[in-house]
Structure 1
């Protein structure tokens, strides 16, 4: 990626979100003396327990498999860096783009998509589980850090970006898992039928750039596929070929790292060029124009989107469905399913503060709280908690010495 100083026009786009014109917070707090509303949101997210727990939540590999693989935390930081750079280059508000990028994975359970699939299956009779909805619940309900309100009391623009950074979501409100969003929106309209801000769209595309590139890097690091195989894949293949001709002395490790760096740059440059083209062709002038455009303003070019689709197909075949990953997914799903069944049948085995929340609830309420407890776990804690629940290493009797 070109340097931020090269790309950043230092001129604010007319369709950028203006922190001075923010629609504010659900509960008024007054302005900060030192930070814009969006910067204040960013800082609140960074200080949450949910954000800290991302350090041991997996992307593809379980967190204990190695220190070099990405976790949800390192991924979120990479997304935020890309989002901030792209936002600055497009004349958008970098704080808002960074904030939404940092928040986007807060609702992921342990063990990545395997964990989400299993919790959704466990919660099927009670409304299901959706990590996007869980992220929204984390910032509006589950984090309890302030004496005057529950959640983080984020700005309207941040909440809008958290729930609809991938586009309008009004059509999902009838899904049982989206009931919390429908209920929240009834009292605080987030305009779920429109697109989100350009900053939120930048965060969404930055997520695509980050995870596709780091999955290539992690897959090569883990030995799931070889450089020779990646060299036949669209997008990264031509980059590898040019790099080999330009720098034949590079070993495989440096070749891999430099190719991934250049691929990130190519994807970022494509987003900048295509988004500027989209804005000019559509005559976008204001933030409201972005919301009412009827399609995403921030996008890849058709050619880049096609190449990216081929790369994703390769990763799906060679990485996400690799037998080693499948074994981890299988183990992860059993761990979460067994804990969920036990906590539902014997809620008194929950930690005291969680048992106090559920002991007088109906079955559906108990299930949602059990799900919240499990969804908040890190990979490592889930493995250890499962071991404590299902392996009697030592029995302690009341009043005894054990």
Structure 2
């Protein structure tokens, strides 16, 4: 029934732990259970534009389960936004993708990626391509999906960093600030902050007030605690910035030196006189070996996506919901961000144990 099907696979956007596990499960299920031929597209959507691919076999996916990164390579190409893109023959990006999809005789394209990648996947579906999405992001911010692979490993890495900063903070009576990824949503900062016992957690969903931070630091000093650890998401905003558009925010921050963590450190020192130091984790968060949980989750996503392809369930993303992996229409995922609700159980738990979110008293 499915022996003649050809399944294309590409990984798009930033890399995340678990991508190779998902590729392995997707390819193995497609080849061994459903008899499909699997085509690996290199360097994400760029590879599909430029027709860079390879036919995959068991030798390509052997031993890749614990490896970080992606064996197919990735890029941040946005074919529907890059209107100036032209291939050697003068074709536009979307036109080239459609032509190469047809020339490769693909029956389906599996896209492993985050929000932007799934939005592009939805647009390609509207162009007539058969596409299935698999959620990948360390930010855990894909709509209608309880957990994305890559997030768990990133939390582990960030938690270890918070743990290590505690000892330095205590030794030198300093305020240690650790900046983690999360441009629009604060899931990573929230989970790592709680797991690492951060005294203050700052996320994009809850604009911070420097007055609340200094008050919390002073309260800790009165308790004999002369150090503090703060976990902040890269997309955090101050209370004054809470309603700014992206353009207005960019304009207001033109004179800002460094990232948000460094600005916060300067604000804390100016307001309280406390000595503050900053650690920006950066790409360390999404590199290296995936955790056991991320390997399991990615394997489940990959196997489910192959089954969706075999059953002609196109235009969907494999999503984890209440412990089950289900097909969710890409139209529900595209252009949406899963933000941390202010009444999320982990937010309430953090408040209960005395964590400060740099807003007002809860």
- What TM-score do the two structures reach when normalised by structure 1? 0.27
Task: Give the number of the structure whose residues are more often strand, by fraction.
Answer: 2
Task: Give the number of the structure whose residues are more often helix, by fraction.
Answer: 1
Higher RCO (CA-CA < 8 Å; seq separation 6+): 2
